[in-house]
Structure 1
Amino acid sequence: MQVTETLSEGLKREFRVVLPATELEERLTSELATLKDRVKINGFRPGKVPVAHLRRLYGRSVMAEVVQNAVAEAERKIVDDHQLKLANQPRFEFPEDKDEMEKALDAKTDLAFKVAVEVLPTFELVDLSDVKVTKPVFRVPDAEVEEGLERLSKQNRPFESKGEDAAAETGDRVVVDFVGSIDGVEFEGGKGEEVPVEIGSGSFIPGFEEQLTGAKKGEERTLAVTFPETYPAAHLAGKDASFAVTVKDVLAPGEVTIDDAFATNFGMESLDAMRDAMRGALQRDYDGVARRKLKKVLLDALDERYSFELPPTLLDQEFQGVWQQVLSDLQRAGKTFEDEGTSEDKAKDEYRRIAERRVRLGLVLARIGETADVKVSDDEVTQALIERARQYPGQERQVWEFYQKNPQALAELRAPLFEEKVVDHILSQVTVEETEVSKEALLADFEDEAKGEAEEAAGEKA
């Protein structure tokens, strides 16, 4: 096998690989000789089948394996001899001339093919000791803990029927059957039976709950509502609809006393223990927001300090993934770029910059993690898989088996774990200053920050 580099331009490399006809013949003969001892053919004793006969029967299929093995060998040779770190899978180009390819498969002429690869950029890791980042800190006040307990008690309070002639009021639970229609035509997902509706909870589309005020058991009503423009189902967003409702019962909420007995219903030893658990849960949520904001600031600092050429194919793949999601979101919302105050070209430029940032940060985080020997243990991946399976009640086994059988999917679980460990490593190298902030300040622009983090997903591309 002869391998010759024909192009070295930026991160692109191309090689010409030649397998002489004599080598093809040798490899084919060797494989057929091995096959002779394994196959059983009528009329021949085991191991006594002539190689010429085997060649007539299996020559082409065996030669296909020879070529496949040669391709894999060429890839390994290119990587090892030139000490390359590939950015993606190599691209192989074989002769387009059918007759030439046929002759090569018959070992009557040399087989020449091209291998095109893109390599990862080389760059020096910068000193981050001068980087200062601020971590917002919000301590959960006692009042918010009590509010959390109040919400929990409200969600778990008992309801009792108010009787035949009692009218529904705000706070009551009305059990209804309903059928929704638009322009007189019933729509998918617009039908329900024995559905509890708590008036004033804001759980249903605007206007639905309010129009049940004053309803009595056995009463039939038609509710006129308008789906919000931002409704997830695009075919319903912004549409006027009517719901034919039959009231099955009207229930009034009972009282719940927040005490030790209430706490024991949730498996807590006491009300104080429940308060501690509530405080911890709330604090973890706020700490998660603070972590995401801190991470965003840290990634911004990294982005400012690194600039290098990106593998074109890797960048294009990243952009295509981002862009398809953008188009899908617009279609689902029934909107256009003009509705968003931009044009398709401007949006493409914006999201290409996002793709560039994601790829660049992904490469930086990967390099930092590699240099620092950051590892994700199998136990940590298993725990992440357990958490993922729990997100699909009733389908845990199928989810588990899917990931176990798909290494790529399992790698996608490992990637964010790796990313967070690398971020922790970087945070240990920079100066982190904690600043007490209000709840409003912590949550300010949180949706934008969350979107930015989703746009990064840097480590997942590492």
Structure 2
Amino acid sequence: MQVTETLNEGLKRAYKLMLTAQELDDKVNEKLAEAKPEIEMKGFRKGKVPMPLLKKQFGERLMGEAMQETIDGAMTKHFEESGDRPALQPEVKMTNEDWKEGDDVHVELSYEKLPEIPEVDLASVSLERMVAKADAAAVDEALNSLAESAQDFKAREEGAAAQDGDQVVFDFVGKVDGEAFEGGAAEDYPLVLGSGQFIPGFEEQLTGVKAGEEKDVTVSFPEDYQAENLAGKEAVFACTVKEVKEPVAAVVDDEMAKKFGAEDLAGLKGQIAERLEAEYAGAARAVLKRGLLDKLDDLVTFELPPSLVDAEAKQIAHQLWHEENPEVHDHDHGSVETTDEHIKLAERRVRLGLLLAELGQKAKVEVTDAEMTQAIMNQARQYPGQERQFFEFVQQNAQMQQQLRAPIFEDKVVDYICELATVTEKEVSKDDLQKAVEAMEDDD
């Protein structure tokens, strides 16, 4: 096959490939010869069918296969010899669309190649890792939050009126058009006023009730209520209030600690400190990673494939548009224009993505099956009851697999770089760490 270069401009490459009619015919004959020993036809023993008859019977079908295999082989050979790695799927187009048997085949091949990534002296990179400890004040703050979440209720004084946040224990029977309906009655039901457990307007009408009081609550079911027989209809609930209780925060002691799985209060404090410091470490890692990426972005400069930058800029613009228009959940909207800001951010992402990929490849960084399984499991938890379907979806979707694999690979490359770089630790307060995180997010 003849290969002629037609474009060599920056990272753009284009070639003309010509497969002669004789080469194609030879390839078809080669395939027929390979298959001949296993072919049987009426009037001929197995493997004894004459080649002209085989060619008449199977030649047309094999012609397409031979053409595709030869072109694919020529492309593979070209990339092996040139060392080019296409940034995106190469564009392959047959130019003589009126081709007929006996004609040469003319094909155009075009692509953008990935650039040569310059060497980076990772040992010269200096980074600072922030270290924050969980002090007593932070642990006590978390303890108090736990106490609020573990709140109990105690009876108010006799004759006290229910307030927002109180728990009202009551019996009720709901009726629509004077008829009780299924699921509209209960006894000794504990309802926290303001919790939004009941349909709109219900809880507000119980504000001010007292123990022993009877009250009719009139509400209308929403038009989109799940029970169609009740949707949009007015209902009257006959309520009998039995108790009115006020919220009481749990006492921070050994007994509360046991409710959260600790042996005693000291043990719970230790667990809280560990959890807080794990959160701080996660935040500090994010700041460290951002600092590393900023330094790498300053250290390296190389030409970027325009197609990758354009695709990334469009994705960024589309994502930001949806963040600014959260009410639109589908993609049935007009085109989103990319700005210079989108392009600048896209260039940074593409540059760092290519650099990290190169460093990871040279260091033989790999994402293990166990790491992928864990990532899929973590993602599947967002779809309770549909975990199996999610697993099957990921198994059948290469793009989704890549979306899950990419951040794991990136984090492992970051770890690899940090092992070679000079990393010093700096002890900071929780507030200083928080400010660093906020500053990082403001720059995004």
1:135 maps to 2:126: no
Residue from 280, 284, 288 that aligns with 2:282? 288
Could you tell me which residue of structure 2 aligns to residue 363 of structure 1? 354
1:327 alignment counterpart: 321
Residues 255 and 113 of structure 1: CA distance in aligned 2, closer, same or farther (over 3 Å): same
TM-score (norm 2): 0.75
Q: Within 5 Å, which residues of 2 pair with 1:63-462?
A: 63-95=63-95, 97-100=96-99, 103=100, 106=101, 108-158=102-152, 167-173=161-167, 214-216=207-209, 220=217, 252-253=246-247, 256-332=250-326, 348-444=339-435, 446=437, 449-450=440-441
* Structure 1 position 66, deviation (Å): 2.2
1:433 corresponds to which letter in structure 2? T
Question: Contact between 1:94 and 1:113, CA under 8 Å: does it hold in 2?
Answer: yes
Q: 1:447 Cα deviation (Å)?
A: 5.3
Instruction: Determine helix, strand or coil for the equivalent of 1:87.
Output: coil
When structure 1 is superposed on structure 2, of 76-85 and 353-362 the one drifting more is: 76-85
- Structure 1: gaps spanning 5 or more residues: 178-192, 224-242, 335-343, 456-462
SS of residue paired to 1:135: strand
Cα 1:56–1:175 shift into 2, 3 Å: farther
Separation (CA, whole Å) in 1 of partners of 2:237 and 2:438: 39
User: Contact 2:193/2:204 (CA < 8 Å) preserved in 1?
Assistant: no
SS of residue matched to 1:137:
strand
- Distance (Å, rounded) in 2 between the aligned partners of 1:439 and 1:412: 32
3-state SS, counterpart of residue 99 of structure 1: coil
Aligned to 1:180: none
Equivalent residues of 1:129, 1:429 under 8 A apart? yes
Q: How many residue pairs align between the two structures?
A: 401
CA-to-aligned-CA distance 1:296-332 (integer Å, 9 cap, x gap): 1211111112221101111111112112212333333
Structure 2, unmatched stretches of 5+, are 173-184, 221-233, 329-335
SS in 2 for 1:74: helix
CA distance in 2, matches of 1:127, 1:394: 49
1:378-434 per-residue CA deviation (whole Å, 9 max, x = no partner) reads 322222223222332222222222223334432332221221122122223333333
Q: Structure 2 vs 1, CA of residues 166 and 394 (structure 1 numbering), >3 Å: closer, same or farther?
A: farther
The answer on whether the counterparts of 1:198 and 1:209 sit within 8 Å (CA) in structure 2 is no
Separation in 2, partners of 1:153, 1:364: 48
**Matched residue SS, 2:385:** coil
In 2, are the aligned partners of 1:6 and 1:15 still within 8 Å (CA)? yes
Distance 1:349 1:171, change over 3 A: same
Judging changes above 3 Å, is the alpha-carbon distance between structure 1 residues 328 and 54 closer, same or farther for their aligned structure 2 residues?
Answer: farther
Superposition RMSD on alpha carbons, in Å?
4.1
Deviation at 1:221, TM superposition (A): 7.4
Worse-matched range after superposition: 243-252 or 258-267: 243-252
Deviations 1:200-234 (A, max 9, x none): 78x99xx99996783548564789xxxxxxxxxxx
When structure 1 is superposed on structure 2, of 390-399 and 112-121 the one drifting more is: 390-399
Q: State the distance in 2 between where 1:50 and 1:198 align.
A: 90
User: What do the CA deviations read for 1:274-294 (whole angstroms, capped 9, x no partner)?
Assistant: 222222112222221221112
3-state SS, counterpart of residue 27 of structure 2: helix
Q: Is the 8 A contact 1:159 1:251 kept in 2?
A: yes
Q: CA–CA distance in 2 between the matches of 1:366 and 1:403?
A: 23
SS for the counterpart of 1:147 is helix
Q: Decide which structure has the larger Cα Rg and report it.
A: 2
Structure 2 partner of 1:31: 31
**Once the two structures are aligned, what percentage of the paired residues are identical?**
38
**Matched position secondary structure for 2:92:** strand
Is the Cα contact below 8 Å between 1:13 and 1:119 reproduced in 2?
yes
Indicate if the aligned counterparts of 2:202 and 2:218 stay in contact, CA closer than 8 A: no
